[in-house]
């Protein structure tokens, strides 16, 4: 039973993490006006590749997740918010329907809080919490990062009982970006200029001796080959390949493929060769903007 829980937990975590790594924001994307009808899914008004990262505050993205032969087996939302002067991001998701029953209505919740650095153009993680609920079992891991003492501390709890803790030094000139910080920093060109053919190496919170994520935006010629094979016609899109250490998500290769709009919002994400499950898919449903900049009263799903 525990092995089954581990396997399905890895599946869900992999889909969630990769479906959020690359997705940008500007202020409001018109949703109900006539003008909005000309804006395609994955595009929004006032798009820019760099600047004050606060422009992302108030956006929520809704994502449909499919795997095996089940379409829309799970739903997820991710957003960046601000409350009482604190910047934070939340990713939450849950399985539904028959798959929900099969997986004990699994729920995943991730939250990070941030400092603003680099003239408010970059998010730097202060705290990061991961919570997974499977039936009546709750698994929580919390991280805190202090850049004054350059110390990273973490604790892991199962049903409220601490089962692991530790600390490590944060090397000089290095930031341990959690997956949510990476999500917004990438879209703000923090890791380098966004262009086809570019490659990036990103330091993340270490896990299982893996400390980096490698990202490659495929060049136009190679992208064209993929487009022919998948019947895609918009060559302004980006095809992004991310290589994450395979033991983290229990994949054969650790390879992820993301089709992103020219505004860098991920339209479709494929996790390649997941052990026992083949390829997994995540698809953008829609983007909403909340002018209050808070996550208060936002539903997990929308119709």
Q: Per-residue pLDDT tens for 203-216? A: 998 876 678 889 99
Is residue 235 a part of any domain in this protein? Answer: no
Per-residue pLDDT tens digits for 5-43: 454 454 445 445 444 444 443 333 434 333 334 478 888
Is residue 297 a part of any domain in this protein? Answer: no
Is residue 180 a part of any domain in this protein? Answer: yes
User: Rounded to whole angstroms, how far apart are CA atoms 274 and 263?
Assistant: 28
Is residue 160 a part of any domain in this protein? Answer: yes
Q: Are strands 266-274 and 122-134 parallel, antiparallel or unpaired?
A: unpaired
Helix (H) or strand (E) holding 270: strand 266-274
Q: What is the pLDDT of residue 50?
A: 94
Q: Return the DSSP state at 64.
A: E
How many beta carbons lie within 10 A of that of residue 14, not counting itself? 23
User: Rounded to whole angstroms, how far apart are CA atoms 118 and 186?
Assistant: 14
User: Rounded to whole angstroms, how far apart are CA atoms 54 and 287?
Assistant: 17
Percentage of residues of the chain with pLDDT beyond 70: 76
Q: Which residue has the higher pLDDT, 71 or 203?
A: 203
User: Rounded to whole angstroms, how far apart are CA atoms 81 and 290?
Assistant: 9
Domain extent at residue 156 = 2-191+278-289
Query: Worst-scoring range by mean pLDDT, 74-83, 96-105, 181-190, 288-297?
Result: 96-105
Is residue 285 a part of any domain in this protein? Answer: yes
Q: What is the pLDDT of residue 194?
A: 96
Q: What is the pLDDT of residue 98?
A: 59
Query: Which of the listed ranges 56-60, 124-128, 129-133, 251-255 does the model predict with the highest average pLDDT?
Result: 124-128
Helix (H) or strand (E) holding 65: strand 59-67
Is the pLDDT at 118 greater than 90? The verdict is yes
Is the full-model pTM beyond 0.75?
yes
Q: What is the pLDDT of residue 49?
A: 94
Is the pLDDT at 252 greater than 60? The verdict is yes
Average pLDDT value for the chain:
81
Helix (H) or strand (E) holding 272: strand 266-274
pLDDT band with cut points at 50, 70 and 90 for residue 148: very high
Is residue 30 a part of any domain in this protein? Answer: yes
Q: What is the pLDDT of residue 9?
A: 52
Is residue 34 a part of any domain in this protein? Answer: yes
Q: What's the 3-state SS for 96-140?
A: CHHHHHHCCCCEEEEEEEEEEECCCCEEEEEEEEEEEEECCEEEE
- Total of domains in the chain: 1
How many beta carbons lie within 10 A of that of residue 293, not counting itself? 17
Q: Are 114 and 54 in contact (CB under 8 A)?
A: no
DSSP letter for each residue of 211-227: EEEEEEEPPHHHHHHHH
Q: What is the mean pLDDT of residues 85-105?
A: 77
Is the pLDDT at 76 greater than 90? The verdict is no
Is residue 75 a part of any domain in this protein? Answer: yes
Q: What is the pLDDT of residue 210?
A: 72
């Amino acid at each position: 039973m525990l092995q089954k829980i581990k396997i399905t937990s890895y599946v869900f975590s992999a889909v969630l993490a990769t479906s959020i790594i690359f997705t940008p924001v500007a202020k409001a994307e018109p949703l109900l006006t006539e003008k909005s009808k000309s804006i395609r899914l994955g595009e929004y008004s006032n798009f820019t590749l760099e600047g004050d990262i606060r422009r992302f505050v108030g956006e929520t993205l809704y994502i449909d997740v499919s795997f095996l032969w089940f379409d829309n087996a799970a739903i997820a939302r991710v957003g960046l918010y601000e409350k009482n002067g604190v910047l934070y991001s939340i990713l939450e998701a849950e399985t539904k329907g028959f798959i929900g029953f099969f997986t004990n209505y699994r729920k995943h919740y991730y939250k990070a809080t941030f400092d603003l650095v680099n003239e408010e153009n970059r998010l730097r993680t202060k705290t990061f919490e991961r919570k997974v609920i499977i039936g009546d079992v709750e698994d929580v891991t919390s991280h805190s990062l202090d850049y004054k003492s350059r110390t990273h501390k973490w604790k892991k709890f199962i049903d409220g009982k601490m089962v692991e803790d530790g600390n490590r030094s944060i090397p000089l000139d290095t930031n341990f970006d959690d997956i949510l910080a990476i999500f917004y920093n990438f879209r703000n060109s923090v890791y380098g200029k966004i262009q086809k053919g570019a490659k990036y190496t990103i330091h993340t919170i270490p896990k299982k001796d893996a400390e980096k994520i490698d990202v490659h935006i495929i060049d136009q010629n190679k992208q064209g080959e993929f487009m022919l094979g998948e019947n895609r016609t918009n060559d302004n899109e980006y095809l992004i390949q991310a290589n994450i250490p395979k033991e983290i998500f229990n994949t054969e290769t650790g390879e992820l493929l993301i089709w992103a709009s020219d505004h860098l919002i991920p339209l479709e994400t494929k996790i390649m060769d997941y052990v026992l499950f083949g390829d997994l898919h995540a698809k953008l449903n829609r983007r909403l903007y909340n002018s209050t900049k808070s996550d208060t009263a936002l539903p997990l799903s929308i119709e």
